[in-house]
Structure 1
Amino acid sequence: MPEPITGPYDFDAAARMAQTVANGPRYAPLRLEDVGPEGMEQVQVIRAAFSIPDSRPFPDVSLITLRHPGMFKGQMVLGIELAKGLIPARDRELAVLRIAWLTRAPFEWSEHVDIGKAFGVTGEEIERVIAGSSAAGWSAHEAAVLRGVEELLADHCLSDATWDSLARTWDEKQMLEFPMLVGSYLMTALQQNSLKIQPKGGFDYR
């Protein structure tokens, strides 16, 4: 089986930014007035789900992906379910940060540095996410969350050891949710990297 990356994953951040950000985005964000009825229905669903007031600008990343409103709807149905899912938010954000780092996804990384901090992930822990599941300092459960991401990205399957470790803490619904969580954020990273969505920052975390 392909070996998961359980330690530090070093890459040329400037080169990756040039590849996935420079001269982007590849499609301009729509203006809200140009979003059709199907898309506007989704705009209202998202505003309600995440308590986004009408006075706040709708995110550019959403206004780009709303060029395909049917696909956007499918992504958002899954995204909302995962956001209110049974995996604790802090565990979820540790997983997403490791996904974003291993996929070298600057938009997803910078967004979830902020989101992770809002759910209690510290700057020291973000450094440890970069260092991987084998880094000292993780609890057994936290290490298994990160190891699960590393295995799913490398081999598309959780090992028995990682499954058993997670199942000591999570119930069956959380276990069913975890591969879907990883797959969803992997899918999002692929899309955002390819569309050259503009991040607020790069691969920094301070």
Structure 2
Amino acid sequence: MPNNTPRQGAVESESAFDMQAREAYITGLPPRIKPLQQNELGKDAIDAVNNIRKVISLPPTDTVEEYTATMLRHPALYQRHTELAIQLFSGALSARDRELAVLRIGWLSKAPYEWGEHVKAGKRMAGLTSEEIDRAKQGSTAPGWDEHERAIIRAVEELIADAMISDETWAVLSRRLDEKQLIELPLLVGQYQGVAYLQNALRLRLMPDNPGLSAR
């Protein structure tokens, strides 16, 4: 019989986590790969950045942030990576479902860059409150979620812990999500788990308006 329970350790208690030490380990040291300088980037790079900014409801810019300037050292991969990101941002899942899932991924991954950026995105695009963002840290067992929201967050926890969504969680998700959305959710989790891996492993520096893991 399959084990539908996430492996122990998938959800850490707050007391087991030293946030300052984690941030110092990832963002307190120099980036492992130097980003391209602004004078090394052409109009195509600016256009690519603004395509993404348009999708996430941000105004155009004439500069390229360090994350993108680093990824552009592998331009072919960056293009494919951003194509999927844009598809997911404008995809079948609601902004609220998407951002709740990404916040849970970011927190379980202890990813300062991803967490801080998606706290902002969650508030701007999905209307999430600071209370709900704090609750996303606690996970699916936190009081206050409705049945559907709890299932979205539990699906993230199960996928990260066991690369599977349990039958119980799937049944709840299926009450509100259609087939396109059910296909999209695991891909969303995989995409943003990968983004967390990348941003953490490269030790990307936080943008000035990104407070990292303290964001709420």
Q: TM-score with structure 2 length normalisation?
A: 0.87
Identity %: 42
Alignment of 1:79 with 2:85, yes or no, is: yes
Residue of structure 1 equivalent to 2:40: 34
Letter in 2 for 1:124: E
Alignment of 1:3 with 2:10, yes or no, is: no
CA distance in 2, matches of 1:178, 1:54: 29
Alignment of 1:137 with 2:140, yes or no, is: no
CA distance in 2, matches of 1:84, 1:12: 35
CA distance in 2, matches of 1:53, 1:178: 27
CA distance in 2, matches of 1:80, 1:32: 23
In structure 1, stretches of 5+ residues that fail to align are none
Q: Secondary structure at the match of 2:214?
A: coil
CA distance in 2, matches of 1:131, 1:8: 8
Alignment of 1:66 with 2:66, yes or no, is: no
Q: Secondary structure at the match of 1:23?
A: coil
How many residues are aligned here? 203
In structure 2, stretches of 5+ residues that fail to align are none
Contact 1:95 1:182 in 2 (8 A): yes
Contact 1:87 1:174 in 2 (8 A): yes
Residue of structure 1 equivalent to 2:154: 147
Within 5 Å, give how 1:95-106 maps onto structure 2. Answer: 95-106=101-112
CA distance in 2, matches of 1:163, 1:96: 18
CA distance in 2, matches of 1:56, 1:34: 14
Residue of structure 2 equivalent to 1:203: 213
Residue of structure 1 equivalent to 2:53: 50
CA distance in 1, matches of 2:214, 2:59: 29
Change in Cα spacing, 1:8 to 1:129, as seen in structure 2 (3 Å) is farther
CA distance in 2, matches of 1:19, 1:161: 37
Residue of structure 1 equivalent to 2:183: 176
Change in Cα spacing, 1:137 to 1:156, as seen in structure 2 (3 Å) is same
Q: TM-score with structure 1 length normalisation?
A: 0.91
Please report the RMSD computed on the Cα atoms of aligned residues, expressed in angstroms: 1.9
